[in-house]
């Protein structure tokens, strides 16, 4: 592809992107933009008028001594500047208002779009870099529209009007001056290509820098514990240096237009003045037309310079706008089925039927998993790391779609119901409790936005959190800080359980909710969990067997296969079983925290836990 075709493709991309932005936003701002354009046209007209009237100022007042015209000419000039000042103010305010609204609109739009995307997108995208990229890029669309409007309505019209004044006053001199155009166009095309590539690199390094800063501050405890200060300092220093170099390079390349345009303008203006001097001294021409021409030429310099730079500046904004649309154009991999219905949960019976799933093609994590989580009962899942336990929780919430098989709730295939209705029926407590910006009351109420204050406090009481919350100076109005780092792990987990309680969902999913807690915190959290589990269909992922001994059914997984299932006593009765091996590996002392465990004995009536073939 040669340079001409490359430029044509890039121009088509620019036009296509501009049309898309105008198509998506133009209708909402047509009234405001119309007023702003009228103001810009008034600025252009008064600028051209200021140059044109110089002919009358010089010839009528100073050359012909028509002093009777002083008041009229002076008044018209004053009026022109008053109109220009008011029009400039109005267009600046209006375009700023539209620009700020565009930024807010795209911020909302991006966040709404991100909320529609699946877990897979966030698994592949660093959150810190994503946030930094959005903050940096969203202004590109605002700048793109504002520059387009001002360039066309103010600068282009001003330049055309001023060139018209120049041609009217002296056509020959105008032709001579306009020879500076081709060098200017060539320079713009060259700089445009350079700026496009450098700007994208700069934005990417800026995103990495902000992301690294965010990660370092969020993980400061680990940084201090592992004495990583020097390593991170060196890493950030390198990123800062590269970012600085890219920013300096953008400045060097984009600002090259200034000396080039100044040199060309200097030669043009010097030639005009020399010609005017010759006309006045040799030909005896009245100086008014020449002064008017020079005024138009000087006034035309600014809009010409801005127009020469506008495509370079547009390239920077286009890079930002493209990166925003790269996010907005990501299609959610998971969508509701065309005829999806609302999930209606009755008893709450959950069934996995020959479920196969993996995160990468050809690499299944679950292989034909089948089990039933009985309504109103607790089903626990145990197994080694990587066995597929947490994947079952993710599939139950339709964070991913199964490759084969079905998952049903009360006989309703969850692939055929809306994701919102499914997830509204589920309360989830994760291994790592996450608290959001806001107060303790706000965080509990996230479970159900319409919950009353009394319901929030009752949920906290049931979650064994009410006592420590009320002991705080501000009680339930205490800000949690960033992810609640001022609270202990057990306190954060109990607040997370309160959020699950207030949700009042018929299905409860617990993903190793106590594995990271000390024994005392675990006992309190386990007591809170017993409250929230009562009467709900519960699936529990557990690392510590002490948390599942009372489960109605225990499933044992290994390498993506369900290999054993039964009650605690039934599984212990098989001395060769995997569950029995887990039990032997864990200290009996861990079990005494929850309840006294009797000596393993054969199950009554000769029952044994069922072994499954992998």
For residue 607, what are the domain limits?
341-425+507-513+533-614
What are the DSSP calls for 504-544, one per residue?
Answer: T-SEEEEESTTTTS-HHHHHHHHHHHHHHHTTSEEEEE-SS
| 356 shares its domain with 212 | no
In a domain, 1, yes or no: no
- Give the domain-ending residue among 454, 484, 504: 504
| 561 shares its domain with 587 | yes
Using CA atoms, how far residue 422 sits from 357, 449, 465, 472, 496, in Å, is: 19, 17, 28, 36, 20
Helices (H), 53-69: 54-56
Phi, psi of 455 (to 5 degrees): -70, -35
In a domain, 3, yes or no: no
In a domain, 561, yes or no: yes
| 440 shares its domain with 417 | no
| 288 shares its domain with 380 | no
What local confidence, expressed as pLDDT, does residue 56 receive? Answer: 72
In a domain, 66, yes or no: yes
List the 378-383 sheet strands across, edge first. 426-429, 507-511, 537-541, 378-383, 553-558, 561-566, 610-611
Q: What CA–CA distance (Å, rounded) separates 609 from 605?
A: 12
| 414 shares its domain with 451 | no
| 287 shares its domain with 259 | yes
Q: What is the pLDDT of residues 9-37, one digit of tens each?
A: 666 777 787 788 888 887 888 888 889 88
Q: What CA–CA distance (Å, rounded) separates 138 from 172?
A: 47
CB 121 within 8 A of CB 330: yes
Number of domains in the chain: 3
What local confidence, expressed as pLDDT, does residue 286 receive? Answer: 63
What local confidence, expressed as pLDDT, does residue 188 receive? Answer: 60
| 365 shares its domain with 471 | no
| 322 shares its domain with 195 | yes
Beta strands at 378-383 and 537-541: parallel, antiparallel or unpaired: parallel
What local confidence, expressed as pLDDT, does residue 192 receive? Answer: 61
Q: The CATH number of the domain where 257 resides is what?
A: 1.20.1560.10
- Give the domain-ending residue among 306, 328, 350: 328
In a domain, 4, yes or no: no
| 17 shares its domain with 164 | yes
In a domain, 335, yes or no: no
| 262 shares its domain with 173 | yes
Q: Which residue ranges in the chain fall short of pLDDT 70?
A: 1-11, 59, 61-64, 128-129, 132-133, 176-197, 200, 203, 218, 221-222, 225-226, 254-258, 261, 265, 276, 279-288, 308-309, 311-312, 482-483, 515-518, 521, 586-614
What local confidence, expressed as pLDDT, does residue 221 receive? Answer: 64
- Give the domain-ending residue among 484, 504, 524: 504
| 142 shares its domain with 284 | yes
Nearest alpha carbon to residue 127 among 483, 421, 446: 483
Q: The CATH number of the domain where 604 resides is what?
A: 3.40.50.300
In a domain, 552, yes or no: yes
Nearest alpha carbon to residue 25 among 324, 312, 306: 324
In a domain, 68, yes or no: yes
| 319 shares its domain with 455 | no
């Amino acid at each position: 592809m040669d340079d001409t075709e490359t430029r044509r493709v890039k121009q088509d991309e620019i036009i296509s992107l501009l049309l898309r932005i105008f198509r998506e936003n133009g209708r909402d701002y047509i009234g405001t933009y119309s007023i702003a354009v009228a103001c810009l046209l008034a600025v252009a007209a008064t600028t051209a008028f200021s140059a044109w009237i110089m002919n009358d100022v010089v010839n009528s007042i100073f050359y012909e001594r028509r002093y009777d015209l002083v008041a009229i000419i002076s008044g018209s000039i004053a009026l022109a500047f008053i109109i220009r000042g008011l029009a400039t103010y109005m267009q600046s305010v209006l375009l700023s208002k539209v620009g700020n609204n565009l930024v807010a609109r795209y911020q909302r739009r991006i966040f709404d779009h991100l909320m529609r995307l699946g877990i897979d997108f966030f698994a592949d995208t660093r959150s810190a870099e994503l946030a930094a990229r959005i903050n940096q890029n969203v202004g590109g669309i605002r700048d793109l529209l504002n520059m387009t409007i001002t360039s066309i309505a103010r600068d282009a019209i001003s330049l055309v009007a001023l060139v018209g004044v120049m041609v009217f006053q002296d056509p020959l001199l105008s032709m001579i001056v306009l020879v500076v155009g081709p060098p200017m166009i060539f320079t713009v095309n060259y700089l445009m290509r350079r700026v496009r590539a450098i700007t994208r690199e700069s934005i990417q390094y800026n995103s990495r820098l902000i992301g690294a800063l965010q990660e370092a501050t969020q993980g400061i405890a680990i940084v201090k514990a592992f004495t990583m200060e020097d390593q991170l300092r060196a890493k950030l220093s390198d990123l800062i240096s590269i970012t600085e170099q890219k920013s300096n390079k953008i400045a060097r390349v984009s600002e090259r237009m200034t000396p080039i345009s100044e040199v060309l303008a200097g030669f043009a203006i010097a030639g005009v003045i020399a010609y005017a001097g010759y006309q006045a001294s040799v030909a005896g021409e009245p100086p008014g037309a020449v002064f008017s021409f020079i005024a138009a030429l000087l006034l035309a310099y600014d809009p010409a310079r801005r127009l020469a730079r506008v495509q370079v500046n547009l390239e920077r904004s286009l890079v930002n706008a493209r990166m925003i649309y790269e996010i907005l154009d990501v299609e959610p991999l998971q969508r509701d089925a065309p005829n999806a219905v609302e999930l209606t949960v009755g008893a709450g019976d959950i069934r996995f039927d020959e479920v196969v799933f993996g995160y990468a093609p050809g690499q299944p994590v679950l292989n034909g998993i089948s089990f039933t989580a009985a309504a109103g009962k607790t089903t626990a899942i145990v197994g080694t790391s990587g066995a597929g336990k947490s994947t079952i929780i993710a599939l139950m919430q339709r964070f991913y779609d199964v490759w084969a098989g079905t998952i049903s709730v009360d006989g309703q295939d969850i692939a055929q119901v809306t994701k919102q209705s499914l997830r509204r029926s589920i309360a989830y407590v994760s291994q790592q409790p996450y608290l959001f910006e806001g107060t303790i009351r706000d965080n509990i109420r996230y479970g159900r936005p319409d919950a009353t204050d009394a319901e929030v406090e009752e949920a906290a009481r049931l979650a064994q959190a009410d006592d420590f919350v009320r002991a705080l100076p501000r009680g339930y109005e205490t800000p949690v800080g960033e992810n609640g780092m001022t609270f202990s792990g057990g306190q954060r987990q109990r607040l997370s359980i309160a959020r699950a309680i207030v949700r009042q969902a018929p299905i409860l999913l617990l993903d190793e909710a106590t594995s990271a807690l000390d024994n005392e915190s675990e006992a309190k959290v386990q007591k809170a969990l017993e409250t929230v589990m009562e009467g709900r269909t519960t699936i529990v992922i557990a690392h510590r067997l002490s948390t599942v001994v009372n489960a109605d059914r225990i499933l044992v997984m290994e390498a993506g296969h369900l290999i054993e299932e039964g009650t605690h006593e039934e599984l212990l009765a098989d001395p060769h079983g995997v569950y029995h091996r887990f039990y032997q590996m864990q200290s009996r002392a861990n079990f005494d925290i929850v309840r006294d465990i009797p000596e393993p004995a054969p199950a009554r009536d000769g029952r044994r836990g069922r072994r499954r073939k992998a």
